């Protein structure tokens, strides 16, 4: 029997989930839930339906795993606990500092409902977390480095768009090669924020706007840009659309560690991603973990789980024998 | 209470295990078992004892996990099933083609003894297997590549040493940059054996030996060298010792995959290792999985397991709360 999936929220991530389900023949999309008028939302999957978000409760028992595609700032803190009381769920909550609080809220509701709720699934948090974890248990004496990019940061692009006189903007986070090479060499450098990444901004300004003022406001914006070397390019709306329409991302997780009687031997573990589409890759990770969530639920588990709790084998539709003979 | 570990076989890997245990304060070395006269073996851990391999049964109940450090060709197929009937065990069995058979033998004995036996732990098989696995479940439409090196291949070095007139030898497997770059570009190249790696050999010949004949025998050796571009350097025993005494290794696991409605987006997942000491890194992986084996056994599990069965959290001495707040 196929794993019956619901998608709650149909933006970039939700569409990515729909595509990923089609690449996994053991998964089946049942319904998409949206806060927009359902008749205004067209989906690509024959046989699946579009419902209003308020109708979700009617699907209790008809959906094995609900994948929640809301934003971390205000949607997921409300949606995930609420939906976890009705369904097994997966979300991609990515506000690192608030994960313990989110975990506690989701755990309580998932346990009440007898469901499995997996939070913070994707690539960071998600696969990057897993790789930091594995590298850390293997090399307890060592140092972790994470670099992001080259990729589009949605939060930073939004911050630029809020500046007076800005019509649209795209911000790229770019790791600095020199820093990456220093880490890979095993030199264990201490790197400041400015030494790890640069930020490059493509901005469409209103006609007649004061570009010098906009550039200054960007470069001096605390938290977002002030600690980085930032470059600002003013371009036309057409150029932004033509040259900066994609949503690439990626990054590097590196651990440099030591072993030996006198810790005389160095080891470098590196995991990296180069992604044409950030939401589609995130979706692909989530769909694999949705499979595991369903298995854990079928085994009688309940409560909030993370990627650290999942035996890898649960992520695959293949049998243990197939996996051992082909991949071990 | 600490996890009480035994080491069965005290060569490079066994010594690596001993060092790794000292880097993990929740683990404790109880005894080293050796086929040599025990009084001839000096270990570095105060409080641990050296015993003859035949005395191992006396340690039933005194050791939580026995780490078996024999060779895959003849030792482990016998040792792992036998020891799994008495102890929970970990081995690093690496003859890929014979893993299913080894699994079945070990599984039967481990179940009889009520023990957990984990086979094929290390980096390949081991962490490379896990990374091929994770990348494959995330990107079902894709292609896997594994490159090894730069590193010393023990099997190939041994094969050279068996040639008439050869006193000693060290063989390096080296991935070809051009091939790596083609894979990383997302071009999904079809690569022949010769296009992926070169082999470089450092050979100490007997005085007066026919070097041309030795070089020819190496380069034409089927399976080992004939399918590769191989270079042979004749050096002195002193040079071999001075310049080629270390046991570095490493490699790359890369998956190139596609997502999107028309599979129009490319993604590259890459995992790489750069290791000063192959046996010490292998040992570090094994010690982390030994911790997990002990937990699984304490939970009542039994039988043969692989790295795919282990919830990552079992590998860490830290609590779930610590891990979630620091690594997710």
Longest pairwise C-alpha distance within chain B = 68
Number of neighbours of residue B111 by Cβ within 10 angstroms: 16
More confident residue, A163 or B154: A163
pLDDT at res. B328: 87
Three-state DSSP at B112 gives helix
Separation of alpha carbons B82 and B105, rounded Å: 9
Partner A, chain B 122-151, Cβ-Cβ below 8 Å: 125, 127, 129-134, 136-141
A187 at the B interface (CB within 8 A)?
no
Which of A254, A259, A326 to probe by mutation at the B interface, max B CB count within 10 Å? Answer: A259
For residue B36, what are its two tokens? 């040599």
DSSP annotation of A310 reads: -
From the list A120, A310, A312, the residue facing B328 with the nearest CB is A120
A274 touches chain B (CB under 8 A): yes
* Degrees, nearest 5: CA angle B135-B137-B143: 55
What end-to-end distance do the CA atoms of chain B give, in Å? 27
Q: Average pLDDT in the A245-272 region?
A: 97
The pLDDT score that the predictor gives to residue B280 is 98
Tens digit of each residue's pLDDT (9 = 90 or more) over A61-80: 999 999 999 999 899 999 99
Q: How confident is the model at residue A328 (pLDDT cuts 50, 70, 90)?
A: confident
Token duo for residue B89: 């065990």
Q: Are strands A142-148 and A249-259 parallel, antiparallel or unpaired?
A: antiparallel
pLDDT of A165 higher than 90 = yes
Contacts of B95 in chain A (CB under 8 A): none
Indicate yes or no: CB of B276 within 8 angstroms of CB of A265. Answer: yes
Report the DSSP beta bridge partners of residue B169: B203
Q: Comparing C-alpha atoms, which of A53, A102, A108, A100 is closest to residue A78?
A: A102
What is the pLDDT of chain A when averaged over all its residues?
97
pLDDT at B294: 98
Strand ranges (E), A134-220? 142-148, 151-152, 166-175, 197-205
Q: Tell me the H-state helices in A92-243.
A: 99-113, 127-138, 154-161, 177-184, 193-196, 211-219, 237-243
Asked whether A63 and A87 are in contact (CB, 8 A), the reply is: yes
Cβ count within 10 A of residue B326: 14
CB-based burial of residue B1 (10 Å sphere; 0-12 exposed, 13-18 middle, 19+ buried)?
Answer: exposed
Minimal Cα–Cα distance from A302 to chain B, Å? 16
What pLDDT, on the 0 to 100 scale, is given for residue B306? 98
- pLDDT (0 to 100) of residue B154: 87
Tell me which residues of chain B, numbers 289 to 328, contact chain A at a CB-CB cutoff of 8 Å: 291, 306-313, 315-316, 320-321, 323-325, 327-328
CB contacts < 8 Å between A and B, how many? 197
Contacts B291 to A, Cβ<8 Å: 137
**Distance between CA A267 and CA A185 in Å, rounded?**
10
ipTM over 0.85: yes
Question: Which chain A residues have a beta carbon less than 8 Å from that of B125?
Answer: 328
**Which two structure tokens, joined as six digits, stand for B216?**
């020819």
Q: Is the predicted pLDDT of residue A281 greater than 90, yes or no?
A: yes
Is residue B153 within 8 Å of B171, Cβ to Cβ?
yes
Cα torsion for B276, B280, B283, B287, to the nearest 10°?
A: -100
Span B61-86, pLDDT tens digits: 999 999 999 999 899 999 999 999 99
User: Model pTM greater than 0.90?
Assistant: yes
Measure CB to CB from residue B313 to each of A23, A268, A309 and give the nearest one: A309
Is B268's Cβ below 8 Å from some Cβ in A?
yes
Round to whole Å and give the CA distance between B78 and B60.
18
DSSP classification of residue A2: P
pLDDT block averages, 10 residues each, chain B of length 328 = 97 97 98 97 97 97 97 95 98 94 98 98 97 98 97 93 96 97 95 97 97 97 95 97 96 98 97 97 98 98 98 97 92
Q: What is the largest CA-CA distance in chain A?
A: 68
């Amino acid at each position: 029997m196929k794993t019956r999936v619901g998608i709650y929220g149909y933006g970039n991530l939700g569409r990515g989930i729909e595509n990923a389900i089609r690449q996994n023949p053991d998964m089946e999309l049942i319904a998409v839930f949206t806060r927009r008028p359902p008749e205004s939302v067209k989906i690509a999957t024959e046989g699946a339906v579009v419902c209003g978000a308020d109708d979700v409760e009617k699907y209790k028992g008809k959906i094995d795993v609900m994948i929640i595609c809301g934003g971390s700032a205000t949607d997921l803190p409300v949606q995930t606990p609420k939906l976890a009381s009705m369904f097994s769920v997966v979300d991609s909550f990515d506000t690192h500092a608030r994960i313990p609080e989110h975990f506690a809220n989701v755990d309580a509701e998932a346990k009440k409902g007898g469901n499995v709720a997996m939070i913070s699934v994707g690539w960071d948090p998600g696969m990057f977390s897993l790789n930091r974890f594995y590298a850390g248990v293997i090399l307890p004496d060592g140092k972790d480095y994470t670099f992001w990019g080259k990729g589009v940061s949605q939060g930073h692009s939004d911050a630029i768009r809020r500046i007076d006189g800005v019509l649209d903007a795209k911000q790229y986070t770019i790791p600095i090669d020199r820093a990456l090479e220093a880490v890979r060499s095993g030199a264990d450098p201490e790197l400041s924020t400015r030494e790890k990444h640069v930020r490059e901004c493509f901005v469409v300004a209103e006609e007649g706007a004061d570009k010098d003022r906009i550039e200054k406001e960007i470069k001096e914006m605390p938290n977002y840009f002030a600690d980085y070397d930032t470059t600002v390019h003013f371009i036309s709306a057409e150029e932004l659309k033509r040259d900066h329409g994609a949503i690439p991302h990626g990054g590097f997780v590196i651990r440099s560690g030591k072993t030996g009687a006198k810790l005389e031997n160095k080891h470098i573990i590196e995991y990296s991603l180069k992604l044409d589409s950030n939401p589609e890759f995130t979706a692909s990770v989530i769909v694999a973990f949705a499979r595991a969530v369903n298995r854990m639920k079928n085994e009688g588990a309940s409560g909030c789980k993370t990627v650290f709790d999942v035996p890898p084998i649960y992520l695959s539709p293949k049998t243990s024998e197939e996996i051992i003979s082909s991949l071990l």
